[in-house]
């Protein structure tokens, strides 16, 4: 069964400067090869700015860049961007394959403490995509706090969380990532930014890749701009779920 080679790019973001951020990630990905999935933080072209969608790069330009990186690395490139769309401004998770296929998930839970719900349209659809034999659930930052939205209905193997999660609540980030892995019996990859933003918020990173048993497979020092790698085994996941089938007793939820 397929092994998925995952990389997280825990990096600082230049405030409201799409071109500068793309140049930075160009350098980050210059020597990456042999990875199946490369994950960038939330709003990787702007930082977590409420006005970002009105001043951001066009979606087509962001997708073209991601497609180029996917072709270069032969992996899927994933990360969210603030975009202006026909539906209005959205915080959109884009996942772009080397063949140019694009998957889109719009952030469901908007962070009201920053008035995100006054500036962006909330998504309505939960998305599962298939990539190289894996079923993947993409989610964004504040979504992590809502376990019903993350509930594994026996329909995914890996959950991705991209974030601009501030340092004062880092314990929540780390604890909830492990909880989502354990309760759903799936792998979890959480990619957070580092540095400071234009609003004076600071970010530790604390990006992690976690096993279905809650074991941290990859992590790094706080505040460090770096890349995290892990190889995930679908065979090990399925063996564990068969040996400890807690998923069979999960309560149903309807949204």
Q: Structural domain boundaries of the chain?
A: 3-247
DSSP state of 64: H
By annotation, the residues acting in catalysis are 42, 107, 141
**pTM to 2 decimal places:** 0.98
Angle between helices 18-28 and 59-73 (to 10 degrees): 10
Does the pLDDT of residue 253 top 90, yes or no?
no
- 76 beta partners: 37
Residue 235, classified by CB atoms within 10 Å of its CB into exposed (0-12), middle (13-18) or buried (19+), is: exposed
Q: Determine the pLDDT at residue 252.
A: 85
Average pLDDT on 131-146 reads: 98
Give the per-residue pLDDT at 255.
75
Report which of 200, 190, 139 is spatially closest to residue 166, judged by C-alpha positions.
200
Mean pLDDT of 142-158: 97
Whether the per-residue pLDDT at 87 is higher than 90: the answer is no
Q: Would you tell me which CATH number, out of the four given (3.90.10.10, 3.60.110.10, 3.40.640.10, 3.30.530.20), belongs to the domain 3-247?
A: 3.60.110.10
- Is residue 189 pLDDT above 80, yes or no? yes
Residue 23 pLDDT:
98
21-25 mean pLDDT: 98
- Average pLDDT of the chain to the nearest whole number: 97
């Amino acid at each position: 069964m397929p092994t998925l080679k995952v990389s997280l790019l825990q990096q600082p973001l230049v405030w409201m400067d799409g071109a500068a951020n793309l140049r930075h990630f160009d350098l980050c990905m210059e020597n990456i090869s042999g990875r199946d999935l490369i994950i960038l933080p939330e709003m990787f072209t702007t930082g977590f700015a409420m006005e970002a969608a009105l001043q951001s790069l066009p979606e087509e330009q962001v997708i073209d860049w991601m497609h180029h990186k996917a072709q270069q690395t032969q992996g899927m490139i994933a990360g969210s961007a603030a975009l202006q769309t026909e539906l209005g401004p959205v915080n959109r998770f884009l996942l772009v394959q080397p063949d140019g296929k694009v998957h889109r998930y719009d952030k469901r839970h908007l962070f009201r403490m920053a008035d995100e719900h006054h500036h962006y349209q909330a998504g309505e659809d939960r998305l599962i995509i298939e990539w190289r034999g894996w079923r993947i659930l993409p989610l964004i930052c504040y979504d992590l706090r809502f376990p019903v939205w993350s509930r594994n209905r026996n329909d995914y193997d890996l959950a991705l969380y991209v974030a601009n999660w501030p340092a004062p609540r880092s314990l929540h980030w780390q604890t909830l990532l492990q909880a989502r892995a354990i309760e759903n019996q799936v792998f979890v990859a959480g990619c957070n930014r580092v540095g400071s933003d234009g609003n004076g918020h600071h970010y530790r990173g604390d990006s992690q890749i976690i096993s279905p048993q809650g074991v941290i497979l990859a992590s790094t020092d706080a505040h460090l701009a770096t890349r995290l790698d892990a190889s995930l085994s679908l065979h090990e996941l399925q063996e564990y779920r068969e040996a400890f089938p807690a998923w069979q007793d999960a309560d149903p939820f309807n949204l």
